[in-house]
Chain A
Amino acid sequence: MAAAVQNAPGLHDCRDAFAKTLEALAEADGRIVAVVNDSVGSSKLGGFKKRWPERLVNVGIAEQNMVGVGAGLANGGKVPFVSGAACFLTGRALEQIKADVAYSNTNVKLAGISSGVAYGELGPTHHSIEDLAWLRLLPNLTIVVPSDPWETAEAVKAAVAHEGPVFLRLSRMPVPELKRPEGARFQFGKAEVLRAGTDAAIIANGVMVTRALVAAEALAEAGIAARVINLSSIAPIDREVILAAAETGAIVTIEEHSIRGGLGGAVAEIVSTTRPAAMRILGFPGFAPTGSAEFLLEHFGLTSEGIVRAVHEVIAMRDGR
């Protein structure tokens, strides 16, 4: 993405909130360690390393080993944050995540950095738009896709407080801090209704939440009241909020992920078997062509305009027009 966007006022790289929160927690809790695959810089763990060099385990470029080492550290009473580029962490070490972390049910926290198409021009090898589909299948594993710095920080705190495996899908795309009601609380398994509306529901997470809110604003001007839901917690999932959204009869999901098996798939599994509604699933249909992250999101219609179009389509589908 362009540096100008990255540095735009009011926008944040959620990795900063991740690193800052982890350091604050690690100061009080000696069990917290970090495990990286030569990814100190990309995980923004330089500060952590400087403060606690003995608690930062860099295994080198070896993801299978990185995840296994995380499980071994948890066995020794540590709370390891295994942090690396989401594409390699989840793809390369999938069986370790399955056997050593999820099936063994170990207290390992996986931080998938720069998920989605954040690596833009580096191409599909470096995109991580399959991770939710892969990991959503694994029992015991909590999966969270934070939308902004506040939620990233809260998810890190919740991960430490939770005894068991967690996957945090973190982005490096610049996002604004969302406006939330006073006293808002983050909880695994709880979705957030950020805007009320009964004509349709837009369900998003991660960097897409802001776009969903912009879309809802545009729809309101056209007389359509769209509910906006931040479904940051993919597992466990908030069935109640999803089924309430299905009452609108028109749902659009949007995610920085494949259209198969991610947030949209998770919502469709619940809606189609319990309270069917018209749906559109927005995401990536396949390997992405060359382009910056911003370009790719535009190219595939993962924008507020794309959401507005999709909401009109699902309403038409629902109404049989």
Chain B
Amino acid sequence: MLEKISQTSDERIAAIREKARIIRRRAIQMVFDAKQGHPGGDMSVTDILATLYFGVLRYDPAQPDDPARDRFVLSKGHCTGALYATLAEAGFIPLDELATYMRPLSMLNGHPNRNYVPGVETNTGPLGHGMPVAVGMAIAGQIDGSDRRVFVVTGDGEQQEGSNWEAGMIAGHRHLAQLTLIIDRNHLQQGARTDETNDLEPLADKWRAFGWHVVDVDGHDHAALLDVLGAPVGDRVKPLCVIAHTHKGNGISYMVDQVQWHHGVPNQEQYELAMEELA
């Protein structure tokens, strides 16, 4: 994390972009090898993860339990391809461990387990679990008067889970300014478009009504993400909701905005094309 201080802004953004490219390649490799996974969501969330881990979060992979660390929760826990590739790149887990993804007895389960994987804060998988836990993390910081920050990423379809709104309501009430919710807004859930299933709009208005400060951002624009996520809390008293506009399968031409890639697995030809496009 220290190296970024000596970098210019352009260099930092270029470095984050390169991390995102590496994470995408590794995630696709993992899904291809495991013959299962959630590549569409992995590609959707990768730029958010790369920006957080290589531009925003304070952590030390050698001390994953450091009490002062910033907290990150991937509530859309099925996107472990991107998460594990990110944690490996950030130094939490050995790179060669990625080859065991979803293999028998691997620590890299299809959904993350904090008891096996350093850097994972809470076990997710069932949707709607990350927000309440992140709110608890932020309240702990509030009680301690700590400046540590808490970031949680949910899918957009996941916003249909009521527990998000229970958590969001108390976060607004308690002015948890250290808490940031990032919604991976790719408009697709497992079976169909979100607006065909249970429309979320007006999503920004809903979060504003719950007492949050809401910002829209291009979820694949590293500079824009860094601006929003990296900005100091400053005088802001409300929790921050970042609606990150993304594309499922982003970065791989045939996957973009295609619902079947929620948990599709590339065949040999598709795998080669993906790697070519991510070269």
Contact = CB atoms under 8 A, between A and B. Distances in A.
Are A and B genuine complex partners? Answer: yes
A27 interface: no
Interface in B94-140: 113-115, 121-126, 128-129, 131-140
Contacts of A74: 136
A254 to B, nearest CB: 35
Contacts of B136: 35, 68-76, 80
Nearest to A78: B140
A66 B126 CA distance: 17
Nearest to A68: B132
B162 interface: yes
Given A71-B133, A100-B122, A103-B123, A65 B163 contact: yes
B15 interface: no
Interface stretch (B44-52, B166-174, B184-192, B267-275): B166-174
A37 B177 CA distance: 22
Interface string B63-76: 00001000100000
B132 A64 contact: yes
Nearest to B168: A65
A68 B123 contact: no
B140 A75 contact: yes
A73 B170 contact: no
A76 B73 CA distance: 13
Interface in A38-62: 54-55, 57, 59-60, 62
A10 B222 CA distance: 68
Contact of B114 (A80, A95, A104): A104
Given A59-B166, A62-B170, A76-B144, A69 B122 contact: no
B141 interface: yes
Contacts of A72: 122, 132-140
A78 B259 CA distance: 41
Given A104-B115, A104-B123, A105-B115, A68 B167 contact: yes
Interface SS of chain B: helix, strand, loop or mixed?
helix
Contacts of A96: 129, 132, 163
B143 interface: yes
A62 B165 CA distance: 10
Interface string A71-92: 1111111101000000000000
A68 B122 CA distance: 10
B169 A60 contact: yes
Contact of A69 (B124, B126, B170, B173): B170
A191 to B, nearest CB: 29
A168 interface: no
Given A69-B167, A95-B126, A99-B125, A57 B132 contact: no
B139 A57 contact: yes
B170 A100 contact: no
Interface of B: 67, 71, 113-115, 121-126, 128-129, 131-141, 143-144, 162-163, 166-167, 169-170, 173
The 4 closest A-B pairs by CB, nearest first: A72-B136, A68-B132, A76-B140, A69-B136
23 contacts: A35-B136, A54-B143, A55-B143, A59-B170, A64-B132, A65-B131, A65-B132, A65-B166, A68-B133, A69-B132, A69-B133, A69-B136, A69-B167, A72-B137, A72-B138, A73-B140, A75-B121, A77-B67, A99-B125, A104-B115, A104-B123, A105-B114, A106-B122
